[in-house]
Amino acid sequence: MLSSCSSGGSGSSDNTTIGSGDSGTNEGEDVVSSSCIYESIPASNVIFSSDSKMTFAAAKSAGFTKGINVFGINILATTGVSEDKLIHAANILAELIDNDENGETDNSCVVKKLNELEAFVSMYNEDESEISMETLEMLGLKINSTGLGAFETTVNYESEDQHDASVEEIFHLITQFGYSKVYPETFGESNESESLLAKAMDVARGGRQTQIKNGTWTYNNTDCANAGKVGGSTNAWYFYEDNTADYASMITEYIYWAVSSNFGMHASEAGRQKAQTEWCPHTKSKLQEQDPTVYNLINNSEYAFPTSKMPIADYRFRSVTLSDISYF
């Protein structure tokens, strides 16, 4: 499905994972045209644009030795990452971008923006220190990426205690450098954001707080048994307590929880147990009942979020295979 995308207006500075070059633009300055006809290939060998400072040599100098390109987005991996884990992540990326699995991007404007920003997934085996992003920064590269560990890339709750982190980390890339940029007034993720998404999150957290106080985030509730809902009790139902996270990261995590709950990722008892440490509406029905504001945002067909099915690393339109892997 090719989407026709309405651009957002101007806003405050958006967050990036690492910024260099001319990446420090305002939310509104990154908006693409009001409609996108943009075609890209579901899976192929790694591709770097001809005008990019990112090259195979640069990627190798940072510790990457192989990768796959999915709809123009590279997944770059270190030596310790197995081919199976890399292919798993590539399938997840394909399913998130083409959720109805017809071979076309569901929201071509978002994918175009991700390609323009050269957003990529940096995949390591067990520790992010396997990758030297400083090497890329020294080359003047804009590093718009999210990290993913192979050890946490797994079948969702196969062991009853671990979710598939590839869904989470890859979705973070899509919203941070895609949706947030294309629709800043609706899905903007920044420390100063007053987007519709940020305002919905403020309600879910029991009130707006953009900075930690006395070294911690404070919530009026951290127990799902006492959680509120839109139009009811103001007790928080989202209480992410990572004190190293800023307000922008809170938004990034919030939309991940909403979309992943909407497509059923946390519906099992193991999923509920893990979610309830920071998030209460862990199923689609609970999300609709408890947080209809964000439910309606992500289910609005204009934005083409992945709502058809939960990614399970089985992209049915076209199998990702060993032949799609590039080695540096």
Tokens representing 250 are: 């809170």
State the pLDDT at residue 22. 34
Q: Please tell me whether residues 57 and 122 are part of one structural domain.
A: yes
Average pLDDT over residues 218-225: 98
Alpha-carbon distance of 193 to 185, in angstroms, equals 8
State the pLDDT at residue 155. 85
The boundaries of the domain holding residue 247 are 191-301
Classify 108 as helix, strand or coil.
helix
Q: Please tell me whether residues 124 and 206 are part of one structural domain.
A: no
> In 3D, which of 321, 314, 319 has the Cα closest to residue 96?
314
Q: Please tell me whether residues 277 and 130 are part of one structural domain.
A: no
pLDDT beyond 90 at 7: no
Alpha-carbon distance of 12 to 22, in angstroms, equals 16
Q: Please tell me whether residues 10 and 100 are part of one structural domain.
A: yes
Q: Please tell me whether residues 176 and 195 are part of one structural domain.
A: no
Q: Please tell me whether residues 33 and 48 are part of one structural domain.
A: yes
| Tokens 């540096």 found at | 328
pLDDT beyond 50 at 8: no
Residues in CB range of 213: below 8 A, 6 or more apart: none
Alpha-carbon distance of 14 to 193, in angstroms, equals 8
Mean model confidence pLDDT for the chain: 89
Phi/psi for 75 (5° steps) reads -110, 115
Average pLDDT over residues 259-269: 96
Q: Please tell me whether residues 227 and 297 are part of one structural domain.
A: yes
Q: Please tell me whether residues 164 and 208 are part of one structural domain.
A: no
Q: Please tell me whether residues 233 and 110 are part of one structural domain.
A: no
Number of folded domains that form the chain: 2
**Predicted model pTM:** 0.89
Residue 59 and residue 35 in contact, taking contact as beta carbons nearer than 8 Å? no
Q: What share of the chain is helix, strand, coil (3-state, %, to 5)?
A: 35, 10, 55
Residues 45-77: pLDDT tens digits?
998 988 888 999 999 999 999 999 999 999 999
Start-end of H helices in 117-240: 133-138, 165-174, 180-182, 184-187, 196-204
pLDDT beyond 80 at 284: yes
Q: Please tell me whether residues 76 and 160 are part of one structural domain.
A: yes
Residues 105-118: pLDDT tens digits?
999 999 999 999 99
Q: Please tell me whether residues 129 and 215 are part of one structural domain.
A: no
Q: Please tell me whether residues 19 and 116 are part of one structural domain.
A: yes
